Chain A
Amino acid sequence: MIKQLWQRFKQPIDPWLLLFTLLVFLISAVLLYSASNQDTERVSDKMTFMGISLALMWCVASIRQQTWMRLALPAYVTGVVLLLAVEFFGVTSHGATRWLNVGITRIQPSELMRIALPLMLAWYFHHHEAHLDWRHFVVAALIMVVPVALILKQPDLGTALLIASSGFYVLFFAGLAWRVIGLGIIAFGVLAYVVTHWTLCVQILHEYQCRRISTMLDPTSDPLGAGYHIIQGTIAIGSGGWFGKGWLAGTQTHLDFIPERTTDFIFAVYGEEFGLIGNVALIGLYLLVIGRGLLISHAASTTFGRLLAGSIALNFFTYAFVNMGMVSGILPVVGVPLPLISYGGTSMVSILASFGLLMSVQRDRKLMKG
Chain B
Amino acid sequence: MSRRPMFGAPPRGKTRRNSSNELKNGRAERSAYELRLVTAVLFVLILFGVLLARFVWLQGIQHDKYMTLAEANRISLVPVPPSRGIIRDRNGEILAHNYSAYTLEVVPARIADLDTLITELNQIVPITPKDRRRFKKLQEESKEFESLPIKTRLTDAEVARFAASSYRFPGVEIKARLFRHYPQGEVGSHLVGYIGRINDRDLTELEKNGMLANYRGSEHIGKIGIEASYERYLHGVTGFEEVEIDANGRAVRTLRRVSPRPGHDLMLSVDIRLQRVVETLFAGRRGALVAIDPANGGVLAFVSMPGFDPNLFVDGIDPQSWKDLNESPDKPLLNRALRGEYPPGSTFKPFMAMAALEGDFPLVRQTIADPGYFLFGGHRFRDSKAGGHGSMNFDRSLTVSSDTYYYQLAVQMGIDYIADFMAGLDFGRQTGIDLPGERPGVLPSPEWKRKRFRNPAQQKWYAGETVSIGIGQGYNSYTPLQMAHAMATLTNHGVAYRPHVVADIVDPNTGTRVPVAPRPERVLPWQRGNTERVLRGLASVITSGTAASVFRNAGYTAGGKTGTAQVFSLRGAKYSAHSIHERLRDHSWFIAFAPLEQPRIALAVIVENGGWGATAAAPIARKALDYYLLGKEPEPVAPEAAPAPSPEPHSD
A231 smallest CB distance to B (angstroms): 9
Q: Are B246 and A256 in contact (CB under 8 A)?
A: yes
Among the listed B12, B40, B55, B246, which residue makes an inter-chain contact with A271, where contact means beta carbons less than 8 Å apart?
Answer: B55
By the criterion CB–CB under 8 Å, are B244 and A255 in contact?
yes
Q: B residues within 8 A CB of A276?
A: 55-56, 59-60
A84 an interface residue at 8 Å Cβ cutoff? no
B211 interface contact, C-beta 8 A: no
Residue contact B36 to A287, C-beta cutoff 8 Å: no
Report if A180-B6 is in contact (Cβ < 8 Å); known contacts: A235-B66, A237-B55, A239-B69: yes
Enumerate chain B residues within 8 angstroms of A303, measured Cβ to Cβ.
1
Chain A residues, Cβ within 8 Å of B50: 325, 330
B33 to chain A, nearest CB (A): 7
Q: Is B62 an interface residue (CB 8 A)?
A: yes
Contact with A along B1-17 (1 / 0, CB 8 A): 11111111100100010
Q: Which of A196-246 contact B (CB under 8 A)?
A: 232, 234-242
Question: Closest CB of chain A to B73's CB: distance in Å?
Answer: 6
Contact A242 B59 (CB under 8 A): yes
Chain B residue contacts of A317, Cβ below 8 A: 44, 47-48
CA distance A178 to B6 in the complex (A): 10
Question: Are B59 and A279 touching (Cβ within 8 A)?
Answer: yes
Tell me, yes or no, whether A94 is within 8 Å of chain B by CB: no
Task: Give every chain B residue within 8 A of A234 (Cβ-Cβ).
Answer: 58, 66
Range, interface on chain B: 35 or more
In chain B, positions 246-273 with a C-beta closer than 8 Å to chain A are 246-248, 252
- Chain A residue contacts of B8, Cβ below 8 A: 177, 179
Residue of A nearest to B53 (CB): A330
Report if B423 contacts A (CB, 8 A).
no
Contacts of A158-189 to chain B: CB distance below 8 A: 169, 172-180
The answer to whether A279 touches B70 (Cβ under 8 A) is no
A175-B2, A241-B63, A283-B52 known; A134 and B70 CB under 8 Å? no
* Pairwise interchain contact A240-B246, C-beta atoms closer than 8 A: no
Residues of B within 8 A of A173 (CB): 33, 36-37, 40
Chain A residue contacts of B54, Cβ below 8 A? 325, 328-330
**Which residues of chain A in 133-151 are interfacial with respect to chain B, using CB atoms and an 8 Å cutoff?**
133-137
Stretch at the interface among A18-26, A28-36, A109-117, A290-298: A290-298
CB within 8 Å of B: which of A58-83?
Answer: none
Q: Are A131 and B12 in contact (CB under 8 A)?
A: yes
List of B residues within 8 angstroms of A239 by Cβ: 63, 66-67, 69-70
Instruction: Tell me, yes or no, whether A192 is within 8 Å of chain B by CB.
Output: no
Judge whether B55 and A279 touch: CB under 8 Å.
yes
Q: A241-B67, A328-B54 are in contact. Are A294 and B5 (CB under 8 A)?
A: no
Please name all residues of chain B whose beta carbon is closer than 8 Å to the beta carbon of A294 when the two chains form the complex: 37, 40-41
Contact with B along A232-276 (1 / 0, CB 8 A): 101111111110000000011001110000000000000100011
Most chain A CB neighbours (cut-off 10 Å) among B55, B58, B248: B58
Taken together as a complex, chains A and B put the C-alpha atoms of A255 and B75 apart, in Å, by 10
Contacts of B59 in A (CB 8 A): 237-238, 240-242, 271, 275-276, 279
Interface residue A118 (Cβ < 8 Å from any Cβ of B) = no
B109 at the interface (CB under 8 A from A): no
The minimal Cβ–Cβ distance linking A91 to chain B, given in whole angstroms, is 30
Q: Which residues of A contact B (CB under 8 A)?
A: 125, 129, 131-137, 169, 172-180, 232, 234-242, 251-252, 255-257, 271, 275-276, 279-280, 283, 286-287, 290-291, 294, 297-298, 303, 306, 310, 313-314, 317, 321, 324-325, 328-330
